Structure 1
């Protein structure tokens, strides 16, 4: 797998998954496996576009579940070919929604996987609807655990903060 900075990767065609992927938990793993499978069916390379630190950590001080190195390793283990690791900082926050769309255009995506609540660009003006105006987008439904609850980085963080690591571990799927 190759790791890239923002605006440094250009591909003739690709399938892309975008998200914080903090923890690369079982929900993320399911999405990324589907993205990799889809790229193989399309005969194109695949890309994960992610952020460090994760936006929730940057804005709200939330505990980061995985270091950049661990995140890269876990994503690579799922068969991902390229990862764009955007430095989520004040400079990145000044980028417009159009800047982000222009950067994604360099990847020539035949499909983009994102969560329904995905927002991008300065002051979060871009959303899934805007992305769909430019690219084929597949919204990702939440993945639930055996108890029917949504698997999320927030839920895992809460369990860890409550000292319930034994309950968090199966949600992560790699500890």
Structure 2
């Protein structure tokens, strides 16, 4: 029996399929709705943070603090002070971890800089109080370094390290260990 044509058979109906463009628009709309009325640096609920994270191409970024809170950051605006302070605490914790591990290369501080850059959606430079070899290389000491300068130039204080960083990398976001 030839069933290629049936009288009275209904036409197959197309099932709508979401396209990547539709999904992207949905994520963008959800992210915009989640941050409506919020100011940069404000705390986000888990639902708001999840909506912001889902739309990575947007201007809004979810920054997670050292104690697990989510804060709103904008890629196009300077970092708010509360985010800079928190990021500085992350750098200080990383410097302490490097010192406790007898790691004068301070790999934990470099990793912290990379993580903060990712979490804020922008390049950042870390100025940190770290435990490292002294200039002679015969002892270890706490000193200030700027990762913008390759961590090779110790400074007596944070202000000197910040000034040198600003001269080397004008306009860069600087995170200072707290």
Bin the TM-score by the shorter chain: under 0.3
Larger radius of gyration: 2
Bigger relative contact order (CA 8 A; separation at least 6): 1
TM-score normalised by L of structure 2: 0.27
